Amino acid sequence: MKLYDLDIIVTAPPAPGWGGRYWILLKLTTDTGIIGWGECYAASVAPEAMKYVIRDVFERYFFEENPENIEKLFRRTYSSGFTQRPDLTIMGAFSGLEIACWDILGKDRDRPVWALLGGLLNERIRAYSYLYPLAKHDIDSFWYSADMAAESALDLLARGYTAVKFDPAGPYTMRGGHMPSMRDIETSVAFCKSIRESVGVNADLLFGTHGQFSTAGAIRLGQAIEPYQPLWFEEPIPPDNLDEFVKVANAVRIPVATGERLSTKAEFASLLKMGGASILQPALGRAGGIWEMKKLSAIAEVYNAQIAPHLYAGPVEWAANIHVAASIPNFLIAETIETPFHDQLIKGSIRVDNGFIPAPQAPGLGIEVDEALALAHPFDGNGLHLEMQDAPCDYQAPNEFVGGAPPKH
């Protein structure tokens, strides 16, 4: 069996766009006619440019290769151009292709991917979701309202979720780490207080940030929300100096979680060795794919750290996350996005059931991709998957925050 053909589909989720402006889906076909699906979570260049990168990696390293040879494919790509170092763009391309290879292998053997990773350990995968506006909420006001956030948390609680994530501490600026404004600290405390009072001990609070603070600023904010016992303090500082995570972890009595912008086991292992995080959040469509993150889970075990796969993408990456989660002992919780488009794109083949995801039983990733639906929603914009603002933090007025929803132009 050899890899023979590649199709790339860039599909755009309908408004309000939970999951980003677009998702890059990869369709690999073997010379025996087996189709495997993958998803590339790479957002540093436009999707049209990314298509060229993906196709180059495929034609250079994957074409006419046996999809079983995951290790060889990884080493070829990781070493590409005399580099042998983590590269978000190249490893993003590789990750999507690698996930598709596992889908093919599972289908060829008539077994779920988790069965090829050491077997089933977790029959139910604990899930969490961001707090999104309910139908009755004004979407613009929602991001500033601790009361609306608490209502959204209660809605998730009623649906069986045992953890909720929110990130009211914007802005996300390209200028690097900044000191939070006092308004942002006050808003963050108000959200934690309101949500904790609403859910009580029935759900964990997952406090999200996106690397926007200086080390000292992250410590100030983290200490302010400590009384509400969040399960984690997510990516409090930029990911370009892993040593600084240690300072935050040592100063704040909340577990530090990070990883959505890291790539390969090498970067994660350095973070673990330093003691900078105890919860790792790899995005499988960027971090090296299924096998690389299976290796990471073993490294994390040695450091008594847990894995919480990140998701701000489509349901194919989600499926890959679930199979890794089903097979590892140090799994904590998996991010989930429930929208009609996410569900329809995989024809409801994997769903959250009372706050947990049953381990898929169908061969491969266990999903059936609606290719016609993906093609019917092409991306026609010029923005990136997510973007940071140019303007600095505003210390005189409230900072604008849109909860990860890309603006519609």
Instruction: Give the tokens for residue 272.
Output: 């673990």
What whole-number distance in Å separates Cα of residue 297 and Cα of residue 291? 10
Non-local CB neighbours of 135 within 8 Å, separated by 6+ positions: none
Alpha-carbon dihedral sign for residues 151, 156, 162, 168: negative
Sign of CA dihedral 111, 116, 119, 121: negative
Residue identified by tokens 């440019």 is 49
Backbone angles phi, psi at 246, to 5 degrees: -65, -40
Q: How far is CA 397 from CA 57, 147, 171, 394, in A?
A: 47, 21, 12, 6
137 given a catalytic annotation: no
Q: In terms of Cα–Cα distance, which of 71, 106, 80, 93 is closest to 1? A: 106
Among candidate residues 210, 323, 342, 385, the one labeled active-site is: 210
CB distance 94 to 356 below 8 Å: no
Choose, from 178, 310, 385, 409, the residue flagged as catalytic: 310
Residue 210 bears catalytic tag: yes
Whole-number Å distance between alpha carbons of 386 and 392: 17
Coil, strand, or helix at residue 23? strand
Question: Catalytic site residues?
Answer: 210, 310
